[in-house]
Amino acid sequence: MSDSKPAVLGPTVDDQTRCVHYKTALDVIAIKFACCGEYYPCHLCHLEAADHEAQQWPLSSRDQRAVLCGVCGYELAINEYLGVDSCPSCAASFNPGCKLHMELYFQV
């Protein structure tokens, strides 16, 4: 487990990046937003806490490390995250529902 996870902003409820909006056992990722380079647990947290509108990561940035596993601190590249259901580092399962609204974070 990483001792130095990147900071996750917004109304988090635990140290595995769960937030007041999404807090099931599988809600253990945070997204680095393209607009500010900061990690937030979800789009609603960014909306509430940031002083600017969210921007999607462009298709050309799929190699950027922009998804944080809240369990171990591993940062996944966007294309890596989109191809897995769990963390490649610690095997923590990710909420499959997150990918249903991936267009809020990434161009599709």
Angle at 84 between CA 79 and CA 88, to 5 degrees: 95
Q: Which long-range contacts (CB under 8 A, 24 or more apart) does 75-81 make?
A: 75/6, 75/32, 78/106, 81/29
Tens-level pLDDT at each residue, the chain (108 residues): 445 889 999 999 899 999 999 999 999 999 999 999 999 999 999 999 999 999 999 999 999 999 999 999 999 999 999 999 999 999 999 999 988 899 999 999
Residue 22 lies in a domain: no
Q: Please check whether residue 12 lies inside any domain of the structure.
A: no
Q: How far apart are CA 80 and CA 10, in angstroms?
A: 25
Q: Is 16 among the domain residues?
A: no
pLDDT the model gives residue 1: 45
Model pLDDT, residue 2 = 45
pLDDT at 46: 97
Which pLDDT value is given to residue 99?
A: 86
pLDDT score at 3: 59
Residue 91, domain extent: 29-104
Q: How far apart are CA 52 and CA 20, in angstroms?
A: 20
Residue 95 falls inside a structural domain = yes
Predicted local distance difference test score (pLDDT) of residue 4: 80
Instruction: Give the predicted TM-score (pTM) of the model.
Output: 0.93
- The domain tally of the chain equals 1
14 in a structural domain: no
